[in-house]
A and B are shown apart, each in its own frame.
Chain A
Amino acid sequence: MEREKAFAEKLARRGVSRRDFMKYCTALTATMGLSAAYVPKVAEVIAAPAQRPPVIWLHFAECTGCSEALLRSQYPYVDDLVLELLSVEYHETIMAAAGQQAEDQLQQSIKKYDGKFICVVEGAIGTKFDGGYGKIGDRTFLEIAKEVCPKAAAVICIGSCSSFGGIQAAAPNPGGFKSVGDALGMKTLNLPGCPPNPVNFVGTVVNYLLLGKLPDLDDLGRPLFAYGKTIHDQCPRRSHFENDEFVEVFGSEEAAMGYCLYKKGCRGPETYNNCPVAKFNNGTSWPVEAGHPCIGCSQPNFWDKMTPFFEEL
Chain B
Amino acid sequence: MGERITIDPITRIEGHMRVEVEVAGGKVVNAWSSAQMFRGIELILQGRDPRDAPLFVQRSCGV
Contact = CB atoms under 8 A, between A and B. Distances in A.
Contacts of B14: 63-64, 93
A66 interface: yes
Contacts of A95: 11-12
Contacts of B36: 134-136
B48 interface: yes
A170 B44 contact: yes
Dominant secondary structure at the B interface: loop
Nearest to A64: B14
Given A63-B59, A167-B59, A308-B48, A99 B10 contact: yes
Interface in A51-101: 59, 61-69, 92-100
A172 interface: yes
A12 B8 CA distance: 40
A168 B61 contact: no
Contact of A307 (B6, B48, B59): B48
B59 A98 contact: no
B27 interface: no
Interface residues of B, number: 31
Dominant secondary structure at the A interface: loop
A134 B36 CA distance: 6
Contacts of A92: 9, 11-12
Given A59-B16, A63-B62, A307-B52, A177 B11 contact: no
Contacts of B6: 99
A165 to B, nearest CB: 11
B52 A177 contact: no
A93 B41 CA distance: 22
B12 A194 contact: no
B31 to A, nearest CB: 14
B7 A98 contact: yes
Contacts of A68: 62-63
Nearest to B15: A64
22 contacts: A63-B63, A64-B14, A64-B61, A65-B63, A67-B62, A98-B7, A98-B11, A98-B12, A99-B8, A99-B9, A135-B18, A135-B37, A136-B9, A170-B44, A174-B38, A174-B43, A175-B38, A295-B55, A307-B48, A307-B52, A308-B52, A309-B52
Interface of B: 6-16, 18, 36-41, 43-44, 48-49, 51-52, 55-56, 59-63
Given A65-B63, A166-B59, A309-B51, 14 more contacts: A61-B37, A63-B60, A66-B62, A68-B63, A98-B10, A100-B7, A126-B37, A133-B39, A135-B36, A135-B37, A174-B38, A174-B39, A174-B43, A175-B39
